[in-house]
């Protein structure tokens, strides 16, 4: 188990491209595997989470090969071409893979078992299993509604009209993937907008899907055509450097090719409301996904009440946004983010403990946190095995008065392989220790 030691005094200058978007990489593998012809994925994230998804599909008979370190070829087998896996499917730490694949595998003519690491096996799955059971799926969870998940084959699935009780792109996507195999139209209504990568990618693969207001509609029985996909740089990974450049002195960073999908750009809006200097440059599209370069410079941030409508659009970025709050003048209040309690860790509790360990005023609530900005000191913090907690606290160290040690930093590779090297190249002062 490694630790990460970060010294203050970073001078962040230069440019970089953070790794490919994890959400899009997952979906490119899934839809590429179900396509009737080959798919080429450029910029695929070779992080542990997305590689577990890739391994799951190779275990179900999908042939893949690497053109280079970030370019993947997938020989799709068609929507009816998957084979029974020879053993239980292991998904590591990936809640996205667990939930989406539960929907996709619910309609297959073979049994399957899905599990993961200790953290993933505590994640709530009833929110996915219950509506899939309404479609006719046979899904067994543990007594507390967590993985491992066992799926038995059924004669067929029925289409479903379903209103999500909580805004969740993972649940929405799981139901849409199951809907590919259902008889009739599956209609999902969202209480608030969530990331729409699944809808955009289905259209890219030639599948008809309609969006009208808060409803998404898909008719089962269609086919997918292989495509050439370019994966943008992950805005969730870029967010760490957006905040680092905002709170460091004399910083000037250019983050290239960042995905700026409007259902994912809440971090941009929140940081700008806090006074961040972020320019969106060279806006363009890579297929269905909007992409831009982001220039970020040092700024005097101030506290805000985070608008409720932005919370679902920045749910994965709140660990580092709470660091921004701790370094801002005044008070920042986050509410309506109870989903953070059931991520890779309890991110509300984990961030409150970590910020308090560095002297910050951070008061956790059931659905958020109140943070009063002020000076941070050095110290030791726990990542709780959560990659985003680890990277967020590395960013916090850039504004601390002394070194910060982050324990259990190995998990960073789940979403951001190469984080330490890229951060060091830009001027952060950090090193890994055994």
- Which are the catalytic amino acids? 316
DSSP string, 113-182: EEE--TTGGGS--HHHHHHHHHTT-EEE--TTS-S-EEEE--S-EE--EEE-SS--HHHHHHHHHHHTTE
- Rounded CA-CA distance 6/431 in Å is 7
Count of C-beta atoms within a 10 Å radius of residue 153: 16
Residue from 56, 69, 57, 150 nearest 110 by CA: 150
Coil, strand or helix: which one is 234?
Answer: coil
Per the structure block, which two tokens stand in for 289? 């996904």
- Rounded CA-CA distance 272/96 in Å is 28
Residue from 49, 38, 56, 46 nearest 20 by CA: 46
Rg of the Cα atoms in the chain: 21
Tell how far CA 170 is from the center of its chain.
Answer: 10
Coil, strand or helix: which one is 341?
Answer: helix
* Residue entry with tokens 């860790």: 345
Per the structure block, which two tokens stand in for 91? 């998904």
| Residue 336 to residues 132, 266, 306, 309, 368, Cα–Cα distance (Å) | 26, 14, 10, 9, 6
């Amino acid at each position: 188990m490694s630790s990460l030691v970060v010294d203050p005094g970073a001078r962040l200058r230069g440019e970089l491209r953070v790794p490919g978007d994890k959400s899009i990489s997952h979906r490119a593998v899934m839809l590429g595997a179900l396509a009737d012809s080959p798919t080429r994925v450029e910029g695929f994230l070779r992080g542990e989470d997305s590689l577990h998804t890739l391994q799951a599909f190779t275990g179900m008979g999908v042939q893949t090969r690497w053109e280079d370190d970030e370019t993947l070829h997938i020989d799709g087998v068609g929507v009816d071409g998957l084979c029974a896996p020879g053993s239980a499917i292991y998904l590591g730490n990936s809640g996205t893979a667990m939930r989406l694949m539960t929907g996709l595998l619910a309609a297959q003519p073979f049994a399957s078992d899905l599990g993961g690491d200790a953290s993933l096996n505590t994640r709530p799955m009833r929110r996915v299993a219950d509506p899939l059971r309404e479609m006719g799926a046979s899904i067994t969870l543990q007594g507390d509604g967590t993985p491992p998940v066992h799926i038995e084959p059924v004669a067929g699935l029925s289409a479903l009209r379903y209103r999500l009780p909580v805004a969740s792109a993972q649940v929405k996507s799981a139901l849409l993937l199951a809907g590919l195999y259902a008889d009739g139209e599956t209609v999902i209504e969202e209480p608030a907008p969530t990331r729409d990568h699944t809808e955009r990618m289905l259209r890219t693969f030639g599948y008809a899907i309609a969006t009208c207001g808060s409803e998404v509609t898909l008719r089962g029985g269609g086919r997918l055509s292989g495509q050439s996909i370019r994966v943008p740089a992950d805005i969730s990974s870029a967010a760490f450097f957006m905040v680092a450049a905002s709170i460091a002195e004399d910083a000037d960073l250019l983050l290239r090719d960042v995905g700026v999908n409007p259902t994912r750009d809440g971090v941009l809006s929140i940081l700008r409301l806090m006074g961040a200097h972020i320019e969106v440059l060279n806006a363009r599209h890579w297929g269905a996904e909007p992409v831009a370069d982001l220039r970020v410079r040092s700024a005097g941030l101030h506290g805000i009440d985070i608008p409720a409508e932005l919370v679902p659009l920045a749910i994965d970025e709140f660990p580092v946004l709470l660091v921004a709050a701790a370094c801002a003048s005044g008070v920042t209040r986050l509410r309506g983010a109870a989903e953070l309690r059931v991520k890779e860790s309890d991110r509300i509790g984990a961030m409150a403990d970590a910020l308090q360990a560095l002297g910050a005023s951070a008061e956790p609530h059931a659905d958020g946190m109140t943070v009063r900005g002020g000076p941070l000191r050095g110290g030791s913090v726990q990542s709780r095995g959560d990659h985003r907690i680890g990277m967020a606290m590395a960013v916090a160290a850039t504004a601390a008065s002394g070194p910060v040690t982050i324990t259990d930093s190995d998990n960073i590779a789940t979403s951001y392989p190469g984080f330490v090297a890229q951060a060091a190249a830009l001027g952060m002062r950090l090193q890994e220790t055994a």
